[in-house]
Chain A
Amino acid sequence: MTPDPDTSREPRRSDAPEAGEAEARRAPAPADSPRTLGGLLREWWTQILAGESGVLPVVLGLIAIGIIFQTQNARFLSAGNLVNLLVQGSVFMLIGMGEVFVLLLGEIDLSLGFVAGIGGTVVTELVQSGTSWPWWAAIAMALAVTTLIGALQGTLVTRLRLPSFVVTLAGLLGWQGVMIRLLGVGGTISIPDETINNLANGTLSDVTGWLLAAAVVLVFGAATVVQDGKRRRSGLAAPPRFLTLFKILVAAAAASGLVVLTNVDRGVRAFPVSGMPWVIPIVFGVLMVWSVLLGRTRFGRYVYAIGGNAEAARRAGINLARIRTIAFALAGLTAGIGGIIYASRLRSMSTSFDGGTIVLYVVATAVIGGTSLFGGRGHPLHPILGGIVIAAIVNGMGLLGLSAAIQLIATALVLLASITVDVVVRRRGETAH
Chain B
Amino acid sequence: MTNDSARPGSAAAEPLLRLRGIEKHFGAVEALRGVDLDVPPAQVTALVGDNGAGKSVLVKCIAGIHEPDAGKIFFEGKRVHIRGPKDSARLGIEVVYQDLALCDNLDVVQNMFLGRERLSRGFLDEDSMERSASQTLADLRVTTVRSVRQAVQSLSGGQRQSVAVAKAVMWNSKLVILDEPTAALGVAQTRQVLDLVSTLAERGLAVIMISHNLNDVFKVADRIAVLRLGEMVGQAPASQFDSQAVVELMTTGRSSRDGDASERPSAGEGR
Contacts and interface: CB of A to CB of B under 8 A. Distances in A.
A184 B137 CA distance: 65
A297 B122 contact: yes
B147 interface: yes
A304 B8 CA distance: 41
B106 A4 contact: no
A272 B197 CA distance: 74
Contacts of B11: 1-2
B135 A23 contact: yes
A184 to B, nearest CB: 45
A377 B132 CA distance: 26
B153 A313 contact: no
B204 interface: yes
B98 interface: no
B127 A230 contact: yes
Contact of B138 (A28, A304, A317): A28
Interface string A418-431: 00000000000110
Given A317-B115, A430-B153, A3 B123 contact: no
Interface in B70-128: 85, 99, 101-106, 110-111, 114-117, 119, 122-124, 127-128
A316 to B, nearest CB: 3
Interface stretch (B24-32, B154-162, B175-183, B262-270): B154-162
A377 to B, nearest CB: 6
Contacts of B214: none
Given A298-B124, A308-B104, A27 B131 contact: yes
A315 interface: yes
A20 B102 contact: no
Given A30-B147, A297-B122, A429 B114 contact: no
A429 B101 contact: no
A28 B135 CA distance: 8
A305 interface: yes
A71 interface: no
B46 to A, nearest CB: 14
A301 B157 CA distance: 24
Given A10-B139, A26-B135, A307 B105 contact: yes
B219 interface: no
A27 B134 contact: yes
Contacts of B203: 3, 7-8, 10
Contact of A433 (B3, B145, B154): B154
A297 to B, nearest CB: 6
Nearest to B97: A315
A239 to B, nearest CB: 12
A50 B172 contact: no
A52 interface: yes
Contacts of B160: 433
Contacts of A32: 146
Nearest to B102: A312
A304 B110 CA distance: 10
Given A312-B102, A318-B115, A9 B153 contact: no
Interface in B166-206: 169-172, 201-204
B139 A308 contact: no
Interface in A55-110: none
B104 A429 contact: yes
Contact of A377 (B105, B131, B170): B105
24 contacts: A1-B202, A3-B202, A3-B203, A7-B204, A10-B139, A12-B170, A12-B172, A20-B131, A28-B142, A30-B147, A51-B154, A52-B154, A231-B127, A236-B127, A298-B117, A301-B114, A301-B124, A311-B99, A311-B101, A312-B102, A318-B115, A376-B104, A430-B153, A432-B154
When A and B form their complex, which 4 residue pairs have the shortest distance between CB atoms, in order from nearest? Answer: A316-B115, A27-B134, A308-B103, A308-B105
Interface of B: 3-4, 7-8, 10-11, 42-43, 85, 99, 101-106, 110-111, 114-117, 119, 122-124, 127-128, 130-132, 134-139, 142-143, 145-149, 151, 153-157, 159-160, 169-172, 201-204, 222
Given A14-B132, A50-B154, 14 more contacts: A1-B11, A1-B43, A2-B11, A7-B202, A7-B204, A12-B169, A14-B131, A24-B134, A28-B137, A308-B103, A312-B111, A315-B85, A315-B101, A316-B101
